């Protein structure tokens, strides 16, 4: 599947850099940052030329975010020097960074939804900068034209899509005429089509001499657009390379050491009978800036994994809440489990009927941060541990320690608080807890987000095993590669609409990508109108 | 150079030690304050903390004050565990006193054995009713619980004042705003001859243990703790948060109502305008000082009751305004909140200069 | 009811609403930065007692107001350090501040209970006060009322038209993002909290120097709490706060109005009116959950620790 993604992205071809013999734009020397219990950056050296697009690669927790936050002045390093255009500088705060000409686009955007685009940009500018701009809105329109960003200064940010918001973030940097642009996993929130648009902008910037530091873990993107790459593991630089001379597989090996098994293929299966279905489900969102669901229709069969792709914020959270029963405002008949209408049931009642659920947020939803793993077992797995309203703590404790062993959860013991576990280990624990209830239907959101490769493999295997036992699994993820790897059938969600479902073998990344951008919506609407008339 | 560093795991020692350190710091603050106003700090501390325990009568009085503090605090601790910010113990206590007194006055000529239980029940129900209104408004109309419970404290106070000036006033009372003295059939029995200690303290300690049992041993208590610690997780697990909210609020209302009726049918023996010297507000401090744990609340209530006694004595013996008690309570909570910082953080000495 | 009576009632409503206006303006700025300070009542009482003590000893009203403002911001500084520096729970810290302020004000003021002072005298503004009715209602007040007008207008301008207002909103909506783009979140919040404290101080001074004018324990009678409800009522908008303050002012003098109309209801029952009104208003305003979520500062009451940013 990866190869397919690769081919699709290669169409634009990797650009090459004209090396210029002038002082480095940015040079990091021995940057070290210690957090309690973790050395986030360990003597990191890195060098960036003007116009260079430089990839910063590594698994989650490798120290990429800490390093770029150091460059942007959000984090103060414990040790090390930063040279900017050959001169030593101390970057005390983001405003110092911006004065130097460093701009950053965050992974979780730093935009204010209740303000307009132009107000958002104004907040980032220093008084000095503002004094040079007569009319900010006009300047935004002009730059928007120049780089094809399509940003309207008067719109409120809450009315913008994720892709548009990212362009506002980039605009923020352009207004300040940046010399170094840092992008933290910029493509993880975009549809494949939006990604190629972003790359066009980056290439233009690079040609104009702007350096770009590009954090990603999508290797095919790196090989496509980046001139140089630095690979971090455990807070250290383990390798540097020229991405165009490497393959995604060889880079992956550098990132994770020897664990890489990127080209794993699992057998696809066909479900037997329908276990769970959503029938023409429509519901306005509860949240002010949420997404309303529109005519959601799908069937989930026993013994299959149905994958739903989509860019974050297109109704996934709302759909999850309705399926799990946390939001039970729907009609009785709009959801059914085993031929029974369950739309009106509470989450607790649905669990009793054999539904289990692995949410996107592990800490703070899937597990209570300040409670022990024993208590967190009891959170959803209560059968057998409650007698006459009293908790059988000893039994719950034994069960928790069995879960820890079975799923190789790294922790001090069942008494450990959930917040003391790493993301991957907590995910294994939650996954084990939910699977341990032998669910008929498992709903699973972003199962391996932020999880290291080893844990991800274990989680994948657990899901496939559950499927093979005859459970129906609904998998919602932003990671298309993962969906293609695991799902037996695929679908995409866009603006609260759900696309048709197709067998994974019968589709490709391009089609799903277009569905993620909503191309199916019009055809669907026409179809409904036809049937009505 | 001293630096603040986050701990990797919260310190259990600090969780227990924090209230004790806060008490010590509050006392030090008290010494400074007393010196500043020209009183002998050691004598003041002696009057505040030691004198209340000097004889059996005073110890008895300490328990009399501890009863309502503890009853309210247990209820509040459980509410706060569920993240229900009920500041209305004072109003619920007053409502209990009012409702209970109305019933006691109904039984004024009775010698039935049922008179006392029914009177107590009337107090409990009144307290529950008084907490039920803000709870309903929160769950149905999403109104802010803190503000509505506070408002209902004021409303209860004026209702009570109105009652003692009007319908419940003693016709033979020469126009004083007080009810008639209750009949013996509706008075809580005292436990010992030498003091005013009455059955109320038994209710209170029992309530502490019941609260502890609910929180630690039952599934209900587990759900309450999850709801308070992490509401999205409670939702995710499918707990019925409305039902849990109702439970904690009614439980707290019942206990506060019981505290109120126990005051009027216990040490006071009639309904007067100043039933409570702010027990319901002090109970917030007691609940916090007891780490929102019902057993902890028992210990904290002892301390707070001593402080109340000491405040009275300090006014009589040293002319220190009795308001010093509520000031100390505020300072105590400040210090407690400050000390709690060190549950998750610690100070480290570092020789390395930082930039 | 004749026009004169209505004029008098509206005049009194403004006078009664003014302390609410001061304190609510302070709180709304604080809440816009994302901080919920429940210590209003305590700060207000401390303002009242210190204002009275200063004016009583020096004989200067101006010094009284100044002392009250300083005391109010000092009280709020305690809150700010606990909440911002030590990450303490905002609700608990606010309650502690109220309990502390209630006790300390009674302690400090025990010597001057029942003493009276001259208080501010009303100043009729030339020309403006001659406008029929309106002049009577608005322009024959004491100087603090005019100050409250000025502050309202100034805040309206600052919040809605300046970069300071933008920064305040940004911090209140998303402190993490604000921190990431280089806004000094803690600094903004310190200033907002202390501004709130100073305003609570003036509000207290208004009670003890103008409204009564004397010092009595607990003389604010829950106004600090009502102001918190007022901010919700006004949907965090400055203009609406002014309107709301006068409406609440009107509600608290309803007993006078009713007595004027010849109704005889127990004054103790009538004394409940402002509290009842607060509850009713809160129910009506909050019932639209969706709208409240939209208008309230997004990070209100949530802790923020810049050290956890990494």
- Taken in order B279, B283, B289, B295, the sign of the CA dihedral is positive
Tell me which DSSP letter residue A475 carries.
Answer: E
Contacts of B20 (CB under 8 A, 6+ apart): none
- Quote the CA–CA distance of A266 and A253 in Å, as a whole number: 21
- Helix A423-435 vs helix A393-406: crossing angle, to nearest 10: 120
A333 touches chain C (CB under 8 A): no
What digits encode the pLDDT tens for the residues A42-61?
899 999 999 999 999 887 66
Same domain, A249 and A279: no
Quickly state the pLDDT bin for C231 (edges 50, 70, 90).
Answer: very high
Please, what are the domains in chain B?
Answer: 1-39+320-349 (no CATH), 59-318 (1.10.3470)
3-state secondary structure C11-75: HHHHHHHHHHHHHHHHHHHHHHCCCCCCCHHHHHHHHHHHHHHHHHHHCCHHHHHHHHHHHHHHH
Domain tally, chain A? 2
pLDDT, residue A263, reads 57
Q: What is the DSSP letter of C134?
A: H
Six-digit token string for A46: 């890195």
Residue A405 neighbours by CB distance under 10 Å: 10
User: What is the rounded CA–CA span in Å between residue A167 and residue A150?
Assistant: 8
Spatial distance between the Cα atoms of B82 and B79, rounded to a whole number of angstroms? 5
Q: Grade residue A232 by pLDDT with cuts at 50, 70 and 90.
A: confident
Whether the Cβ atoms of residue A407 and residue A431 lie closer than 8 Å to each other: yes
Q: Is C37 on the interface with B (CB under 8 A)?
A: no
Q: pLDDT of A291-311, one tens digit each?
A: 889 889 999 999 999 999 887
pTM, full prediction: 0.87
Domain, as residue range, for A21: 2-256
**A380, part of any domain:** no
The answer to whether the beta carbons of residues B134 and B88 sit under 8 Å apart is yes
The label of the residue with tokens 């939650």 reads A430
Asked if residues A181 and A203 have their Cβ atoms less than 8 Å apart, the reply is: no
Query: Which candidate from B87, B325, B337 shows the least CB-CB separation from C103?
Result: B325
Same domain, A181 and A283: no
Read off the pLDDT band of B192 (50, 70, 90): confident
Domain match, A251 and A288 both: no
Count of alpha carbons within 13 angstroms of residue A340, beta-carbon side? 10
Closest partner residue to C182 (CB to CB) among A75, A93, A287 is A93
Q: Is the pLDDT of residue C264 over 60?
A: yes
Binned at pLDDT 50, 70 and 90, residue B142 comes out as: confident
What ipTM is given for this predicted complex? 0.89
H helix runs in C162-237, sequence order? 163-173, 175-180, 185-205, 223-233
- Rounded CA-CA distance B320/A471 in Å is 73
Residue A482: in which H helix or E strand, if any?
helix A480-486
What CA–CA distance (Å, rounded) separates C33 from C125?
36
**Contacts B217 to A, Cβ<8 Å:** 390-391
Greatest CA span in chain B, whole angstroms? 80
Average pLDDT over residues C213-242: 90
Q: Return mean pLDDT, chain A.
A: 84
Per DSSP, the three-state class of A36 is coil
Residues A310 and A184 grouped into a single domain: no
Look at residue A256 in the predicted model and tell me its pLDDT.
66
Contacts of B244 in chain A (CB under 8 A): none
Which range, A17-31, C155-169, C248-262, is most confident? C155-169
Contact residues for A224 (Cβ-Cβ < 8 A; gap 6+): A9, A10, A12, A13, A14, A199
Q: What is the mean pLDDT of chain B?
A: 90
Q: What one-character DSSP code corresponds to residue C220? A: T
Q: What residues of chain A have any CB closer than 8 angstroms to a CB in chain B?
A: 36-37, 76, 78, 90, 324-326, 346-351, 357, 359, 361, 364-371, 375, 378-380, 382, 386, 389-391, 417, 420
Contact in structure between C211 and C47 (CB atoms under 8 Å): no
Calculate the alpha carbon distances from C147 to C19, C49, C128, C141 in Å.
Answer: 11, 20, 16, 10
Structure confidence by residue, pLDDT tens digits, B104-140: 999 988 888 899 999 999 999 999 999 999 999 999 9
Distance CA B200, CA B61 (A): 12
- Would you call A390 and B355 a contact, using CB atoms and an 8 Å cutoff? no
A39 in a structural domain: yes
pLDDT value at residue B252: 97
Q: Does residue A160 have a pLDDT over 90?
A: no
Q: Tokens standing for B6?
A: 């986050």
* Angle, alpha carbons C55-C57-C59 (nearest 5°): 50
Rounded distance, CA B244 to CA B234, Å? 11
Confidence of residue A174 (pLDDT cuts 50, 70, 90): confident
Tens-place pLDDT, residues B1-41: 677 777 777 788 888 889 999 999 999 998 898 888 888 88
Q: Which pLDDT band holds residue B77 (cuts at 50, 70, 90)?
A: very high
CB pairs under 8 A between B and C: 140
By CB atoms closer than 10 A (0-12, 13-18, 19+), residue A351 is buried
What the block records as the tokens of B204 is: 């209170």
Looking at beta carbons, which residues of chain C come within 8 Å of B325? 103
First-last CA distance in chain B: 12
Residues of chain B in contact with residue A370, where contact means CB-CB under 8 angstroms, are 229-230
Q: What is the pLDDT of residues A459-512, one digit of tens each?
A: 899 999 999 999 999 999 887 888 888 999 999 998 889 999 999 999 888 888
Is A114–C173 a contact, with Cβ atoms under 8 angstroms apart? yes
- Evaluate whether residue A201 is within a structural domain: yes
Indicate if the pLDDT at residue C206 is higher than 60: yes
Q: Which two tokens stand for residue C182?
A: 């280089």
Rounded Cα–Cα distance for residues A447 and A140 (Å): 39
For residue range A309-319, what is the model confidence (pLDDT) as tens digits? 887 778 888 99
Mean pLDDT of B139-144: 90
Q: For residue A525, give every residue at least 6 positions away whose Cβ sits within 8 Å of its Cβ, in sequence order, or none.
A: none
The residues that bridge with A281 in the sheet, in sequence order, are A296
Residue A456 lies in a domain: yes
Given this model, what pLDDT does residue A492 score?
92
Parallel/antiparallel/unpaired status of strands A340-341 and A335-337: antiparallel
Least trusted range by pLDDT, from A145-159, B143-157, C50-64: A145-159
Q: Is residue A241 part of a domain?
A: yes
pLDDT category at A258 given cuts 50, 70, 90 is low
Structure tokens belonging to residue B109: 């000529």
- For residue A113, give every residue at least 6 positions away whose Cβ sits within 8 Å of its Cβ, in sequence order, or none: A156, A157, A158, A289, C173, C174, C298
Q: How many CB atoms lie within 10 A of CB B142?
A: 18
| Maximum Cα interatomic distance, chain C, rounded to a whole number of Å | 67
Confidence check: pLDDT of C112 > 90:
no
Q: Which residues pair with A336 in a beta bridge?
A: A277, A341
Beta-strand (E) ranges in A326-471? 335-337, 340-341, 355-358, 386-387, 390-391, 441-445
Enumerate the residues of chain A whose CB falls inside 8 A of the CB of residue B229: 368-371
Pairing of strands A441-445, A472-477: parallel
Residue at A417 is within a domain: no
Q: Which residue ranges make up each domain of chain C?
A: 3-302
Contact between residue B322 and residue B315 where contact means Cβ atoms under 8 Å apart: yes
Residue with tokens 């402190």: C175
Could you write out the DSSP letters of every residue in B264-318?
IIIII-S--TT--SSHHHHHHHHHHHTTT-HHHHHHHHHHHHHHHHHHHHHHHHH
Residue from A174, A206, A191, A231 nearest A16 by CA:
A206
Across A254-258, A293-297, C235-239, least confident range:
A254-258
User: At residue A183, what are phi and psi to the nearest 5 degrees?
Assistant: -125, 120
- Structure-token pair, residue A254: 């550098």
Distance CA A309, CA A477 (A): 6
β-pairing, A386-387 with A355-358?
unpaired
Kindly state the DSSP code that residue A442 receives in the 8-state scheme: E
**pLDDT > 70? residue A238:** yes
Q: Among all chains, which residue has been given the structure tokens 């026009």?
A: C3
Q: What is the CATH number of domain C3-302?
A: 1.10.3470
Q: Do both A216 and A167 map to the same domain?
A: yes
Compare all CA atoms of chain A with the CA of B346 and give the residue at the minimum distance: A36
Cα B229 to Cα B236: distance, rounded to the nearest angstrom: 13
Would you say residue A348 has pLDDT above 80?
yes
CA angle B183, B187, B193 (to 5 degrees): 115
User: Residue A443 pLDDT more than 80?
Assistant: yes
Same domain as A281, residue A250: no
Using CB atoms and an 8 Å cut-off, which of residues 61-90 of chain B contact chain C? 85, 87
Could you say which of B148, B165, B330 has the minimum Cβ distance to residue C279?
Answer: B148
Kindly report the CATH number assigned to the domain that includes residue A69: 3.40.50.300
A neighbours by CB contacts (3+ pairs under 8 Å):
B, C
Res. C293: pLDDT tops 90: no
């Amino acid at each position: 599947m990866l190869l397919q993604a690769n081919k699709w992205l290669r169409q634009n071809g990797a650009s090459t850099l004209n090396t210029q013999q002038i002082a480095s734009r940015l040079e990091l020397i021995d940057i070290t940052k210690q957090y309690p219990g973790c050395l986030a950056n360990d003597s990191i050296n890195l060098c960036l030329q003007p116009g260079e697009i430089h990839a910063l690669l590594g698994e989650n927790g490798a120290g990429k975010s800490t390093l770029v936050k150091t460059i942007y002045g959000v984090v103060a390093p414990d040790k090390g020097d930063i040279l900017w255009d050959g001169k030593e500088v101390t970057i005390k705060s983001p405003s110092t960074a911006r004065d130097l000409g460093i701009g950053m686009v965050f992974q979780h955007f730093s935009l204010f939804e209740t303000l307009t685009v132009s107000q958002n940009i104004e907040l980032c500018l220093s008084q000095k900068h503002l004094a040079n701009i007569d009319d900010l809105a006009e300047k935004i329109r002009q730059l928007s034209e120049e780089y094809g960003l399509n940003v309207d200064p008067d719109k409120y940010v809450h009315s913008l899509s994720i892709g548009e918001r990212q362009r506002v973030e980039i605009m923020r940097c352009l207004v300040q005429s940046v010399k170094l642009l840092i992008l933290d996993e910029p493509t993880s929130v975009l549809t494949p089509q939006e990604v190629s648009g972003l790359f066009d902008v980056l290439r233009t910037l690079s040609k104009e001499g702007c350096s770009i530091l590009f954090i990603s873990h999508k290797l095919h993107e790196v090989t496509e657009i980046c001139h140089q790459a630095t690979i971090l593991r455990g807070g250290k630089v383990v390798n540097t390379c020229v991405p165009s001379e490497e393959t995604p597989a060889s880079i992956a090996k550098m990132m994770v050491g020897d664990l890489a098994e990127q080209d794993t293929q699992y057998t696809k299966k066909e479900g037997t009978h329908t276990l769970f279905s959503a029938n023409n489900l429509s519901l306005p969102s509860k949240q002010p800036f949420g997404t309303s669901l529109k005519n959601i229709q799908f069937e989930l069969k026993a013994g299959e994994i149905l994958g739903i792709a989509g860019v974050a914020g297109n109704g996934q959270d709302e759909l999850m809440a309705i399926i799990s029963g946390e939001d039970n405002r729907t009609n009785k008949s709009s959801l059914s489990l085993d031929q029974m209408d369950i739309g009106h049931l509470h989450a607790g009642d649905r669990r009793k009927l054999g539904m289990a659920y692995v949410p996107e947020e592990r800490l703070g939803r899937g597990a209570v941060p300040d409670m022990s793993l024993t208590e967190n077992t009891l959170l959803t797995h209560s059968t057998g541990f409650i007698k006459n309203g009293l908790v059988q703590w000893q039994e719950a404790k034994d069960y928790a320690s069995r879960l820890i062993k079975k799923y190789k959860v790294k922790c001090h013991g069942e008494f450990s608080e959930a917040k003391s576990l790493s993301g991957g280990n907590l995910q294994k624990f939650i996954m084990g807890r939910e699977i341990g209830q032998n669910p008929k239907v498992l709903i699973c959101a972003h199962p391996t987000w932020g999880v290291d490769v080893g844990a991800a493999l274990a989680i994948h295997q657990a899901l496939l095993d559950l499927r093979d036992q005859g459970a129906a699994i609904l998998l919602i993820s932003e990671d298309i590669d993962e969906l293609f790897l695991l799902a037996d059938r695929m679908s995409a969600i866009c603006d609260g609409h759900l696309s048709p479902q197709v067998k994974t073998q019968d589709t490709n990344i391009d089609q799903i990508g277009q569905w993620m951008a909503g191309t199916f919506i019009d055809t669907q609407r026409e179809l409904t109108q036809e049937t009505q008339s | 150079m001293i630096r603040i560093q986050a701990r990797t795991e919260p310190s259990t020692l600090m969780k227990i030690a924090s209230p004790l350190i806060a008490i010590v710091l509050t006392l030090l603050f008290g010494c400074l304050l007393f010196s500043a106003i020209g009183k002998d700090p050691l004598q003041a501390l002696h009057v505040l903390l030691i004198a209340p325990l000097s004889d059996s009568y005073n110890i008895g009085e300490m328990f009399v004050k501890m009863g309502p503090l503890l009853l309210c605090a247990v209820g509040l601790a459980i509410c706060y565990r569920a993240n229900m910010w009920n500041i209305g113990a004072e109003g619920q206590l007053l409502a209990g006193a009012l409702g209970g007194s109305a019933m006691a006055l109904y039984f004024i000529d009775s010698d039935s054995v049922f008179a006392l239980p029914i009177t107590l029940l009337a107090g409990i129900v009144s307290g529950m009713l008084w907490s039920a209104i803000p709870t309903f408004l929160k769950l149905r109309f999403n109104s802010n619980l803190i503000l509505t419970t506070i408002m209902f404290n004021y409303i209860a106070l004026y209702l009570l004042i109105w009652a003692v000036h009007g319908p419940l006033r003693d016709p033979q009372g020469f126009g004083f705003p007080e009810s008639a003295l209750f009949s013996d059939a509706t008075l809580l029995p005292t436990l010992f001859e030498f003091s005013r200690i009455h059955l109320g303290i038994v209710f209170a300690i029992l309530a502490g243990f019941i609260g502890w049992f609910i929180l630690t041993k039952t599934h209900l208590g587990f759900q309450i703790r999850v709801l308070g610690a992490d509401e999205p997780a409670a939702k995710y697990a499918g707990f019925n948060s409305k039902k849990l909210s109702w439970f904690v609020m009614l439980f707290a209302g019942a206990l506060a109502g019981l505290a109120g009726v126990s005051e009027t049918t216990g040490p006071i023996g009639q309904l007067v305008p100043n039933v409570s010297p702010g027990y319901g507000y002090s109970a917030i401090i007691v609940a916090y000082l007891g780490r929102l744990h019902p057993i902890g609340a028992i210990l904290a209530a002892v301390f707070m009751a001593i402080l109340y006694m000491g405040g009275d004595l300090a006014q009589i013996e040293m002319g220190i305004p009795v308001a010093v008690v509520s000031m100390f309570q505020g300072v105590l909570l400040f210090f407690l909140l400050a000390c709690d910082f060190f549950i998750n953080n610690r100070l480290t000495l570092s020789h390395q200069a930082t930039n | 009811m004749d026009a004169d009576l209505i004029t008098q009632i509206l005049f009194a409503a403004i006078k009664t609403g003014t302390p609410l206006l001061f304190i609510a303006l302070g709180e709304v700025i604080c809440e816009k930065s994302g901080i919920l300070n429940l210590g209003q009542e305590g700060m207000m009482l401390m303002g009242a007692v210190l204002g009275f003590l200063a004016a009583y000893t020096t004989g200067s009203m101006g010094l009284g107001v100044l002392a009250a403002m300083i005391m109010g911001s000092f009280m709020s500084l305690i809150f700010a350090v606990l909440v911002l520096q030590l990450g303490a729970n905002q609700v608990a810290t606010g309650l502690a501040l109220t309990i502390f302020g209630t006790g300390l004000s009674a302690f400090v003021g025990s010597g001057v209970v029942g003493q009276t002072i001259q208080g501010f005298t009303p100043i009729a503004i030339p020309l403006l006060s001659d406008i029929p009715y309106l002049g009577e209602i608005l322009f024959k007040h004491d100087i603090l009322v005019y100050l409250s007008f000025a502050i309202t207008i100034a805040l309206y301008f600052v919040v809605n038209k300046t970069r300071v207002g933008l920064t305040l909103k940004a911090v209140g909506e998303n402190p993490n993002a604000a921190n990431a783009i280089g806004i000094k979140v803690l600094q903004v919040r310190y200033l907002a909290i202390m501004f709130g404290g100073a305003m609570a101080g003036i509000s207290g001074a208004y009670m003890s120097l103008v409204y009564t004018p004397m010092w009595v324990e607990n003389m604010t009678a829950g106004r600090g709490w009502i102001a918190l409800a007022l901010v919700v009522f006004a949907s965090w908008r400055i203009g609406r706060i002014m309107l709301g303050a006068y409406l609440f002012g009107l509600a608290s003098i309803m007993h006078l109005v009713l007595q004027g109309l010849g109704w005889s209801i127990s004054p103790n029952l009538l004394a409940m009116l402002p509290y009842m009104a607060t509850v009713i208003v809160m129910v009506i305003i909050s019932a639209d959950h969706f709208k409240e979520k939209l208008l309230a500062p997004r990070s209100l009451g949530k802790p923020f620790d810049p050290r956890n940013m990494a």
